[in-house]
Structure 1
Amino acid sequence: MSLTAGWLPTAALADVIRVGGDDSFPPYEYVDDNGNVTGYNVDMTRAIAEVMGLDIEITLSSWSSMRSALDNGEMDVLQGMIASPERAKDYTFSPPSVIVNFSFFARSDDPEPNSLVDIRGKTVVVQREDIMHDYLRERDLGVRIVPVRTHYEALRQIAAGRFDYALGATLPSLYYSREYRLSNVESVWRPVQAQPYGYAVKKGNEDILALFSEGLAILKNTGQQQAIYDKWLGSLENPQSRDWRLVGIATGATSALLLFGLGLVVVWNRTLQRRVERQTEEVRKQQQQLIQADKMSSLGTLVSGVAHEINNPSGLILLNLPMLSDAWDDALPLLDRLYDSGRFDIAGLDYQRIRREIPYVISEMNEGAQRIRRIVNDLRDFARQEAKDTAVPINLNEVVATAARLLDVTIRGYTRHFSLTLDPYLPSMLGNAQRIEQVVVNLIINACQALPDDSRAVKVETRIHHASQRLVLVVQDEGVGIEPEALSSLTDPFYTTKRESGGTGLGLSVSAGIVTAYQGEMNFYSQPGEGTRVEVTFPWNHREETSVHE
């Protein structure tokens, strides 16, 4: 079987895809104080547009107007809508990118409801055309429904004592309650199950939705969706409050020591590698295997022991930095008035300079903590060894074909000459399909990124090596090639030639660990200017009674 880069159909689409959303649904999507659209959904949509090569235009307005715009064709897709059987009659939904919880909110001095009977005869405020508005309209609960424009308006009405309850999404409601200091309003009951939340189009626009679903799958597979989730929602998973000053001091010291230790491990490995390379080629090959085994053991032990300790203080930093920012914002008016009465210094610097620097310091601390979390997650993937009982018979051809379909748009963005040749008589192998797919995705993306222009080719094939009874996967590109002295470092952690574009140097390290976990081997063959060929081999499944055609 041989497939080219154009083997998947592409829908005929407008030059610009119009994406709509709610302007008051933080942290998922909203308009910030500077008038910019932002939030989890906005970052996800932009990331999908980048990996899929889409031209998009994002517009946020009231939720009810956005639903109307989707219905009358003024919007092509909504980037965040709760799926339900009733809505499925008019809309088609992508796989969910996140799950949204819902809660009843009431004044803290009012009795808490324990069942739907307790709210009968009460007045419930909801966001107009929101899923909870649909929920109440579809059920005869004996309540009076008051629709308003936003979650904030619903909470404000409750805080003022005008109505009994507000029903809405938990995170946006908690955000507004904290932002506007509605201290007498609290979450009292969660009778509604968490709901799937993703992209939606009007029936008939499934071609557009397919592009967003494919992009979402790529983001999940490459870890970008998790990074965006951590940025907007990760720090909200553990809302316990602590003293930010003590947390900052302890976390800074702990993180510095741990990162220093990780740096020493990497430096030690690099130094040992250079010594080995000065020896004969035969000794170098033998020693390289020992170095890799020791490196995997050292990093695996270190990461498993400290990942939890790093993530906890990092999470506390991410949790408390917003509190620190709020405290600074609250103190500014008092400090400004004090400065008007006479100049003074803070931390040895003039107050006006400190006033300008503190927001940047907080922002840099947040970015640093986010980077610590990403590095720890990458290292955990690098060190993880899959348990033997998770290895099941899988079809390597199906895994490779799935990875190629997943990357179709990405591949076509790099080359006009992509071929996929699969041996139809390939026996099964023992492994985990999702982890082997991760290896194939990494190898194909690396091959595409090595091409100087789209006239160069990428070839992927599978075949059988009968003498060794192994399955062979080959990914070959006509790219710029690799210097001979760099070949031995390709699977080293943190080694990358793409650091300026955001590479961490862990992709091939993770892939090599996965291959080794299933008794596989990965070899690289390359010359500068002549492209690169990567061969990955796995033992075939001897438990399977398969007739292999010679």
Structure 2
Amino acid sequence: MRSTIPRYLLALISLLVFAGTVDAKTREHHLSKRVITIGADYNYPPYEFADENGEPTGYTVDITHAIAEVMGFDVEITLTDWRHAYEGLKTGQFDVLQGIAFSEERAKSILFSSPHSIANQSIFARKGAPEIETIGELAGKEVIVQNASIMHEYLKKAVPDAVPIPAATHAEALRLLASGKHDFALTANLPSLYLSKELGLHNIHPVGRPVSGQRLGYGALPKNEEIIALFSEGLAILKNTGKQQEIYDKWLGALNEPKVQWKKWGQYALYTILVLILILGAVTTWSALLRKEVEKRSRQLKEQQEQLIQADKMTSLGVLVSGVAHEINNPTGLLLLNLPILKDAWHDILPLLDDIYAQDPSFSVAGLPYPRLKQELPFLLEEMQQSSERIRNIVNDLKDFARAQPDEIVHEVDLNELIKAAIRLVEKSIQKSTDQFSIHLDQRSPKIMANPQRIEQVIINLIINACDALQGSENSEKQLAISSNLSLDQKSVYLTVRDTGNGISSENLPRLTDPFFTTKRELGGTGLGLSVSAGIIKAHKGRLTFESELEKGTTVTAILPAIEHVSDPLEREQELA
């Protein structure tokens, strides 16, 4: 019996190796002969553009060549303006567009790969012009957009009263705006900042919040479905091997924001002061006020530009994280699928192994005596099952947290469940910061009407801040406590995060929710965490409160409206009686 089983296994392994070798050679033979034509925008830096020799270069160009290399086919990239590239895809001139933005309307006639990057869109205006905050304020205005671009389509749909002015390229759109023509430009953020710096267009700047993040990927007609499958597979390989991150760092990681020209501003200030002193010394006070205002506006511009570029970097990083989470789920799914089969196989083969052991007491498997293996293997399989389920839960929580949803998508949620999910995501940070962690959740399961991902974001931010405070504290007892409670009138829900860290001085407490204010600048803090959290809580009709004392700790409480009165179970039984 022992000799029969290995003989069958050897034959099966040989057959699989031979089949895999034939399949790989057949696939290599077909792909080696294929040349895929790619359409690209010649003026969309740093994603795709023509270098000084007129050759294609940029982030998406490097991604395309890397995919072609790893998948074993050749590409021919043609640079043109976006409208002709888009029309070339529809007419069959190009097999694929390498940097096309996804939309539901386009998806009706075009197949898209998984995204390789996210491009935020911004509203640009001339300096000194009235600033706007939202895209809705473009109604009745002349807005320059790239012809046939995703923003051209978006503007027509979102603001039908706006007057779109098509331009062939981003550079042409920015030059028109800088020359005083039309009112605004609606263009991609990073390419516009890149071009405005390169072309010396210092009289335009982004205004308001980023309009919309667009997923950039590969697009092809439905007849070329197999080509899109090749690019999607190649992109997944680049993510797993770290090659995409390497290309991202090359083109997008080191992009510097336009810097304020301090020397020029200093010269203007000096000349102004000298002239004012010669003409009338009494205007010195006015000159000082003017200088402060200039510095204030310069800081605001620099902070806004940093925020826009950081948003682009973090969004692209979110795409990479989502891809990694997806790849982790694949092997985890195989473990969860195969472990029950292994358990059943073990139970089925036990009688046979028992018979072998009865005939040969020295019988061993994998170097272990059979009695020990029989005792320990079920526990090993069970631990593997539990660990795989834990990996799946953590990845699912991470994907839920990273999944972007508009604030208006709200529904009834259990605050206790959000707290548990947030704790699972930051469990390592908690363990690293303290060994005195406690949690008290109201047994009445308080419900709120909320966007769960946004509230979970607030909880994670508060916990991480508390962990940072504990790690920098010299207190001997480092404690962290999280609790949820329903108010006495059952109209409000309280989420409390309390730590015994260094605390916050009284003069800094009122500024905690100010954008860009941070006491952890040297540790890489941006000063946006509590500002964003306070905005989320306010959007949910709640408020954020802080209590702190130096060297004793901090207590942060988020107060949110409950959606219904929740009675205590004993009180409910008394009411029913």
Q: Report the structure number with the largest CA radius of gyration.
A: 2
Normalising by structure 1, report the TM-score.
Answer: 0.45
Q: Which structure has more helix as a fraction of its residues?
A: 2
Higher RCO (C-alpha 8 Å, min separation 6): 1
